Structure 1
Amino acid sequence: MRRLLNCLFVAFFSLPFAVSAQQAPVQTPPLELPENADIRIIVDISGSMKANDPDNLRQPAVRLLARMLPEGSSAGVWTFGQYVNMLVPHDEVTDGWREQAVDRSGQINSVALRTNLGEALRVASDRYLSGSDDLDNTDFILLTDGKVDIASDADANEKERENILGPLLEALNSRGATIHTVALSEEADLALLESLAAETGGSYSLAPSAEALTRAFLKALNTAVPQQQIPIEGDGFKVDEGVEEFTALIFRADEEPAATRELGLISPDGTEATSESVPDGMRWVRETEYDLITVTAPAAGQWQIDGELGEGSRVTVVSDLRMVVSPVPPTFTANEPIAVRVAFFEDDQKIDNADFLGVIDVRLTLTSDDGRSGTKTLSGEEVPEDGVYTDDIPRLPDEGEYELDIVADGQTFSRRFSAVTRFVLPEGEEAAVAAEPVEALPEPEPGPAPEPAPEPAPEPEVAEQPVADNGPIDITQVEEADPEPSAEPEESAGLPFWTIATAGGLGVLVIAGAVFLVVRRKKAESGEEPPVIVPDEPGESEPESDEEIPLAVAEPDPEPEPEPEPEEEVTEEEIPVADATVDEPEPEPEPEPESESEPEPGQEDDALPDEEEEDEFGLEDFDLSEFDDLPDTDEEKGLLDDEDEPDKGKSN
């Protein structure tokens, strides 16, 4: 016992140090302008694509990526089936490269016989493309709808799959590559694609249909190369004088027919442009799923969109004034929270001027995949000295995918950043969170003191409230309300829970001991301990009481019991019972509690009529076994009936 106490003592006092080490702030590198990206697009052209992409929507999806890639980055496009083909050479992204990519996208088809996914990754990651082994700034966007298929031999295919997840993935990971995977239909090898993305820190998307392919591609591109945006408010957006060029990507609304779609863009001076009438300085591209409008040297002011905007529509800008946000991981957990860092740059210099930053309102919004959202302000009354707005997202109410939006609104300009991330709760944490309330309830039930403990049921409600009541994620509550319950288990590492449980158990034992002593004392005073044996040997002591006992136990509901009770013993002892209903008669009933303690659960149900049970609030929450020591003899049973009635009145 002494050793156990010593171990508990050491564990208890060493816990704070372990907790402080676990909660130590993560050191983040200084926020700087990102380097030029290197994007390598790999597209499946196997024969199965005829069924999964009958309209060949891979072509407009690839064209969108080519047009949206920032100038100055590097990119290339590969197609693969049994063999791998470089569709668009890997080179710097310029207007010439974009034209070539748009033109050659028409060669994407569904004629290949097999799906040689591993060879496609090997070719696209060849060292000669970048001149080194370093792929730290390289992102692969891989689209496929099938499984590894290099031969008719199933063993050969399985061996190749293992090689992809083994040596090949290890080599790409060691070189710093990031792989974003897009599965077209559930027929693809989803486990393989998820592993490639998870192991390299990339994003994974499942496009259930070809119509969803463009948005899935755009999500992967936005994760690989976040671009400067200006927010769309209502049906318009504000362009500031620092914008050199903007590109409006307007997706078609789901219910809007592509053939008869009408869309217009109105400049600040009231001039409206359409796909049929494009003024100088504007390029308008119309695809089945979207319209892409690029305006060079746009007029500053409010621009309006005349038409319906589909989900995912956005306006990207090219400007010397840039809002830079720290990378957002595709997934995060409570143990690895998201560290949000926001700063503003003009050309290559970070802005820390208090006059400039003092008029900027920076807000963070999280939107769940079911449409719930919550917003938090990052900019406070005081301007950060280093010009960097900081905040952390430690956890969210529910697992799932969330869209993160950061909007900076100055008096003369606005910028927007968007990303998609997924909050994952490890299996161990899920079990702990679910187990705590369950374990906490049964322990308090046995004793009267624990009865308030069942009320901790609100704890799960606290986690649900921000989800349902506060639009899902009032971020202030996510960090303040949720962390509190979750912090306790983390800080205590389980000690508080079992220590509380132990304390509750000791309390129950203390109460039980006190009751036992009281019972023993009452027995000693009354001097009638032998009756305890009476229920076991009914014929020896009191036959009459024996007859009444079965009546009280077996027939409590029908009210014939009062008849035997008033016969002799009740009439003789009525007066003394009335004089000392609380003090003296109670000790005598002690013998019967032993026999009654077992059937009491059933007796409670039988003794109380249905109507009374319904009227008695919280009956199910109380253990009536606490009152076992009330009646023993027939007289005392009569007292039970009398005392039960006032108790019911009290409960009511």
Structure 2
Amino acid sequence: MNRALLCLCLLWVLVLPGQVSAGQPMPQIPEGRDVRIIVDISGSMKQTDPLNLRQPAVRLLARILPGDSTAGIWTFGQYVNMLVPHGAVNDAWRERAIERSRQINSVALRTNLGKALEVASDSYFTQGDLSNTHFILLTDGKIDVSDDGALNDQERARVLSEVLRGLSEAGATIHTIGLSEAADINLLRAFSDQTGGNFSLAESAEELNHAFLRSLNSAVPQEQIPLEGNSFLVDDGVEEFTALIFGGATSRGVTLVSPGGEEQNSSRHQASTRWFREPGYELITVTDPDAGEWSVQGALGDGSQVTVVSNLKMVLSPLPTRFTEQHPVVIEAVFYDQADPITDPEFLGVIDVTVTLTSADGRSGTKTLSADQPPQDGVYRDEISRLPFAGEFTLEVVGNGKTFSRKYSQTLTFDVAEPEQSVLALPDGDDVTGSDLANSTMDSVEPDLSPVTPAIAPIDVAQVELPSPIAPVEADAPANLESDGEGLNAWYLVGGSVVGLVVLAAGLLLVWRQKANSSGVDAAEPEGGDEVLDTDEPAIPELDEQVIDEEEFGLVDFDLSEVEGGEDEGQSQSHDRDGGGRNGGQ
């Protein structure tokens, strides 16, 4: 099948909704999160982070952490140091974090990752309950506590068994970042997978800002305003917005333009604007902004975003970082005015809530929730149970009310469940999996070497010289439908007989054609140009395969909601294979 056509069929189920019933608890405004940042300062960082870009990355987190959060920062090598004490995120905490981030270096001799997690997870801060705590762990290497490799292996096993199990049982979520392929990626993935966090691989120090932001957006999802090109719409309810603009390390900077046309930049801006320029990004916070369309002049790199503080909120239910078809993603979105949920149909009637999924290679699908009428309870619901392939996807939920808009974005990983191994029951009552059986020796299996009498003897086609009539089946032959444990089932007898007759007929036809050829029958095209049809062979229809150019097909930004209205033949077939249509009554 052509790859582009396959992509269409697969993307058709990109946001296939499941049965999501109303009457479930309404999503509540989340309480402040506890975030603990752990940074590797081992000597190997001199090679993987020669420009020490960990410093501006940590300052980025310190500046954009929500004000209702608590946080702390630890560094580790052979020993563990509390760089910034754990506490409430306020102006004093931010200033201390920004100042002490300059102490991040690459001088430590070892990589005592297990000890760092144990110290940072001290139960003193939250009385042993880590259910609201998210760790963001950055390292570029493997566990290294000794020159003895055996001791390092023992420590790694201890971290996986004791430390990870303890954190998981306490409810902690660990987001891990591996800086370069030299990191122990399997260990970092184990931490994130078993605690519901996400794993990011930053192949260079320049990618650290994006990796930290991705972890923070999972740990503390923040409400955003959608960026449309280089513009964004600020409504009257916005008290403050923060624009994070990614660019290259040598970027010339950007200019922020207000609705009234006033321009600001990093060197010249209003007193109500805080502007920070760091390698790789610019962070602009405007308090009490004018309502209207703002724009950014300059290059906006991937991942740029605008977060807001507002009384008018769109609240989402917590989203997992990984999901499968058996454990789908349930999306629930509700709008709040201050602390009160909005259920007024006139207000909700002007809001379009859309869900967009974008794969790592840029293919995307979009659908509208409650397109016909707003939900009676004010909760927009949908479910994503399966995707066309495993991998990472960016989920965006956007609420557009014409005069205002809100957005949430998070990275999700879709896993395809491994097929369950067959379990064989042994005579002694033990169970063995297919992999166990594959690892066993052949001597442990006693094969049954007793001869088996076939239902139909094999036919040697070469010994057939002349076609002969097929003997009729004896009508009086009794059919024994009961099995005595050694005979064959009657259905196998019938099936075998049919197969034998087909083979016999094929052999007779082959011999007859060989004799016809030897008698001077010429199969070539006869003179005169008249076409002679060989009635012995059925005509094989030629398939007119349509080649689809993927570049012209337009998979990028493909609106899956259009498929519901008019499926072509290929889409309908895909629809049937997937087990039914989309649940359109969302």
Please say whether Structure 1 and Structure 2 have the same fold, judged by a TM-score greater than 0.5. yes
Counterpart of 1:41 (choices 33, 37, 52) is 37
Are 2:96 and 1:100 aligned? yes
> Given that residues 83 and 116 in structure 1 are in contact (C-alpha distance below 8 angstroms), is that contact kept between their aligned partners in structure 2?
yes
For 2:191, what is the secondary structure of its paired residue?
Answer: helix
Cα deviation, residue 412, structure 1 = 1.7
The alpha carbon displacement at 1:293 in A equals 0.4
Are residues 1:74 and 2:50 paired? no
Output aligned runs, 1:320-469, within 5 Å.
320-428=311-419
Aligned counterparts of 1:148 and 1:626: Cα–Cα separation in 2: 71
- Displacement of 1:302 after TM fit? 0.3
The whole-number CA distance in structure 1 between the counterparts of 2:374 and 2:317 is: 19
Tell me the alpha carbon deviations over residues 607-650 of structure 1, each in whole angstroms, 9 at most, x when there is no partner.
Answer: xxxxxxxxxxxxxxxx9986443476799636995898333584
- 1:649–1:41: structure 2 CA closer, same or farther, 3 Å change rule? closer
CA contact (8 A) 1:184 1:208 kept: yes
- State the partner residue of 1:509: none
Partner of 2:436: none
State the secondary structure of the residue aligned to 2:36: strand
Residue 385 of structure 1 and its aligned partner are, at CA, apart by: 1.4
Higher relative helix content? 1
Give 1:158 shift: 1.5
Classify 1:288/1:626 alpha carbon distance in 2 versus 1 (closer, same or farther; 3 Å).
Answer: farther
Q: Where do 1:457-496 residues align within 5 Å?
A: none
Contact 2:20 2:383 in 1 (8 A): no
> 1:477-504: per-residue Cα shift (whole Å, max 9, x none)?
xxxxxxxxxxxxxxxxxxxxxxxxxxxx
Tell me the equivalent position of 2:201: 206
User: Residue 132 of structure 2 is aligned with which of 137, 142, 152?
Assistant: 137
Q: In structure 1, what residue type is equivalent to 2:129?
A: D
Amino acid at match of 2:109: L
| Alpha-carbon distance in 2 for matches of 1:92, 1:62 | 17
Structure 2 length-normalised TM: 0.72
C-alpha contact (below 8 Å) 1:630/1:640 kept by paired residues: no
For residues 190 and 310 of structure 2, what CA distance do their matches in structure 1 show? 37
Structure 1 counterpart SS, 2:229: coil
**Matches of 1:70 and 1:635, distance apart in 2:** 86
Deviation, structure 1 residue 379: 2.7
Distance 1:345 1:25 in 2: 21
Counterpart in the other structure of 2:534: 645
- Maintained 8 Å contact 2:35/2:135: yes
C-alpha spacing 1:48/1:534, structure 2 compared with 1 (3 Å) = closer
Q: Percent identity?
A: 53
Structure 1 92/632 Cα, relative in aligned 2: closer, same or farther at 3 Å?
Answer: closer
Q: 2:344 & 2:204 partners in 1: Cα distance?
A: 49
- Select the structure with the greater relative contact order (CA < 8 A; seq sep ≥ 6): 2
CA 47–412 in structure 1, closer or farther in 2 if over 3 Å, else same: same
- 2:235 matches 1:240: yes
Q: Hey, what does 1:163 align to over in structure 2?
A: 158
Cα distance, 1:650–1:368 mapped onto 2, change above 3 Å: closer
| Counterpart code for 2:535 | P
Which SS does the other structure have where 2:124 is aligned?
helix
| Change in CA separation of 1:642 and 1:158 when aligned onto 2, cut-off 3 Å | same
After superposition, the C-alpha distances for 1:120-147 in whole angstroms (9 at most, x for unaligned) are: 11111111122x1111100000001111
* Alpha-carbon distance in 2 for matches of 1:184, 1:634: 71
TM-score between the two structures when normalised by the length of structure 1: 0.65
Residue 81 of structure 1 contacts residue 113 of structure 1 at CA under 8 Å; is this kept in 2? yes
Contact 1:360 1:379 in 2 (8 A): no
| AA aligned opposite 1:103 | E
Residue type of the partner of 1:187? A
Give deviations 1:100-129, integer Å, cap 9, x for gaps.
111110000000111111111111111112
Contact 1:589 1:633 in 2 (8 A): no
Q: 1:382 to 1:161 in 2, by over 3 A?
A: same
Once the two structures are TM-superposed, the CA of residue 23 in structure 1 deviates from its matched residue by: 9.4
CA RMSD, 1 decimal = 3.1
Matching residue's letter, 1:127: S
Shift of 1:219: 0.3
- Which residue of 2 is the match for residue 178 of structure 1? 173
In the superposition, relative to structure 1, how do residues 331 and 629 fare at CA in structure 2: closer, same or farther (>3 Å)?
A: same
Q: How does 1:82-97 map to 2 (within 5 A)?
A: 82-97=78-93
Structure 2 unaligned regions, length at least 5: 1-17, 423-454, 472-501, 524-532, 542-586
Match 2:305 to one of 305, 314, 319: 314
Q: Distance in 2 between matches of 1:188 and 1:534?
A: 64
> What letter matches 1:99 in structure 2?
E
Shift of 1:427: 2.2
Distance 1:197 1:626, change over 3 A: farther
Q: Give aligned pairs, total.
A: 451
Task: Work out which of the residue numbers 125, 144, 150 in structure 1 matches 2:145.
Answer: 150
Shift of 1:185: 0.7
1:53 matched to 2:49? The reply is yes
Q: Distance in 2 between matches of 1:70 and 1:411?
A: 27
Higher Cα Rg, which structure:
1
Partner Cα distance (2:70, 2:460) in 1: 94
Q: Could you tell me whether the CA contact under 8 Å between 2:33 and 2:132 is conserved in 1?
A: yes
1-side partners of 2:150 and 2:22: how far apart?
A: 45
Specify the alignment match of 1:464 in structure 2. none
CA distance in 1, matches of 2:283, 2:294: 15
Q: What does residue 216 of structure 1 align with?
A: 211
Q: 1:275 aligns with which of 252, 258, 266?
A: 266
Paired amino acid for 1:382: Q
Q: Which of residues 105, 109, 118 in structure 2 aligns to 1:109?
A: 105
Q: Provide the rounded CA distance (Å) in 1 between the counterparts of 2:418 and 2:146.
A: 38
Checking the alignment, whether the CA contact within 8 Å between 2:55 and 2:101 is kept in structure 1 is yes
- Asked if 1 retains the 8 angstrom alpha-carbon contact of 2:257 and 2:295, the reply is yes
Deviation at 1:259, TM superposition (A): 3.7
Choose which of 463, 488, 508 in structure 2 pairs with 1:629.
Answer: 508
Structure 1: 5+ residue runs without aligned partners? 1-21, 433-511, 517-531, 538-545, 550-586, 592-622
Does the C-alpha gap of structure 1 residues 67 and 385 become closer, same or farther in structure 2, counting only changes over 3 Å? same
- Which residue of 2 is the match for residue 249 of structure 1? 244
**Distance (Å, rounded) in 2 between the aligned partners of 1:148 and 1:128:** 26
CA displacement, residues 189-230 of structure 1 (integer Å, 9 cap, x when unaligned): 111111111111111111111011110011000000000100
Letter in 1 for 2:536: D
Distance 1:633 1:217, change over 3 A: closer
What code does the residue aligned with 1:332 have? F
Which one-letter code corresponds to 2:27 in the other structure?
L
